[in-house]
Amino acid sequence: MNFSSPSIDRFFESILNLKSVEECYKYFEDICTIKEIQNMAQRLDTAILISQGHNYQTIAEKADVSTATVVRVGRCLKYGSGGYKTAIERLGIKED
């Protein structure tokens, strides 16, 4: 799926130009709802737990997400573009 556009490129560049977690909090609080930020964080937590080999029910409970979300994130990890894997590796989190 190619959803690239100059507007999306500019949006991603704006994120890459942020210099600290504090700047990210400020920017994302302006651009997203708190729930959207929490949902994205939960998806990353879910991807981390999947990559560590936890079972889906345990992940749903630990990450406080539905099993449908766990399945979707799992599908992205297995068949997606590798974005989650790159992010997890760069955070220094070891896969199982």
Number of domains within the chain: 2
The verdict on 91 and 68 lying in the same domain is yes
Q: pTM score, two decimals?
A: 0.89
Are residues 15 and 43 located together in one domain of the fold?
no
What confidence category does residue 94 fall into, taking pLDDT thresholds of 50, 70 and 90? confident
Task: Check whether residue 23 and residue 58 sit in a common domain.
Answer: no
- Residue 2 has what pLDDT? 72
pLDDT at position 70, please?
98
| Same domain for 63 and 92 | yes
| pLDDT tens digits, one per residue of 67-87 | 999 999 999 999 999 999 999
Which residue bears the tokens 């991807």? Answer: 47
Residue span of the structural domain in which 94 resides? 35-96
Q: Is the dihedral of CA 67, 72, 73, 78 positive or negative?
A: positive
Q: What is the average per-residue pLDDT within 33-57?
A: 96
Whether 41 and 25 map to the same domain: the answer is no
Q: Based on the fold, state whether residues 54 and 27 are members of the same structural domain.
A: no
Q: Decide: residue 49, CB within 10 A, 0-12 exposed, 13-18 middle, 19+ buried.
A: buried
Residues 72 and 48 placed together within one structural domain of the fold: yes
